Chain A
């Protein structure tokens, strides 16, 4: 079992959860496309063999469809902006759990925090450190999903 989170694991976790929970099918983005709508960003702290934060961003239009698919309703008929943050936070929560399993298996106890979702903005204004892991995906309507993992520096071993 790989001990570290990788870009491939992040990509697989996001794709798997969006497909299983919300029937949204994604592929890695061939290039960085502009955001074509307001952007929601979820931050989820985690601690496994590594500690860090999972950051997930996507457009409000995709969030509306995710919320509708989760509820089994019509996105246009049941438009409720309050559902967007809720559904995106829950997606982040489940992606975090799947990512922990991919990276660390089921033998290690991992902890996920409570996801925090920022209100919709024109752009996802997140500065990622150079060491951050980052992937960008597109759904079949070319709506963008960005996922990043910022890892905290490993604590020094005792005696060093």
Chain B
């Protein structure tokens, strides 16, 4: 099965790096979509069929956790898994994020196997 993937990060270079890393990980990608913040992401989520979201936390206009909160509040978006990709290292904070609806977490700097494992965990569990 191929996955439509939305990458949300205010850095265009990181969006490109995440795309490249996911491709290197051997994930079966249908289509990549990109957004620079949570507002753009919500707009895309409302119009495109997206299977998983990889999002940074710190972004202007709407950060990654506010994006998760908005998605959880909408019936048509609540089931789409969101994986946070960030520099956060506090275990307590990562657990808080999962309580708020984040499905998984990838720490920067990341490796292809990090994405492969997360996709297996997220979609394997489903």
Return the CB mask of B40-55 against A: 1 if under 8 Å, else 0: 0000000000000000
| Given known A71-B13, A86-B13, contact A97–B87 (CB-CB < 8 A) | yes
Q: Nearest Cβ distance between residue A18 and chain B, in whole angstroms?
A: 10
Size of the chain B interface, CB-CB below 8 angstroms: 22
B60, B87, B109: the one within 8 Å of A96 (CB): B87
Size of the chain A interface, CB-CB below 8 angstroms: 28
Q: Is the CB of A106 within 8 A of B109?
A: no
Q: Is the CB of B92 within 8 A of A107?
A: yes
Give residues in A with beta carbon < 8 Å to B.
17, 20-21, 67, 70-72, 82-83, 86-87, 89-90, 93-94, 96-98, 100-101, 106-110, 112-114
Give residues in B with beta carbon < 8 Å to A.
10-14, 16-17, 20, 58-60, 86-93, 107-109
A-B interface, 10 closest residue pairs, ranked by CB to CB distance from nearest: A97-B87, A86-B13, A101-B89, A21-B109, A109-B90, A20-B109, A109-B93, A94-B108, A87-B13, A86-B11
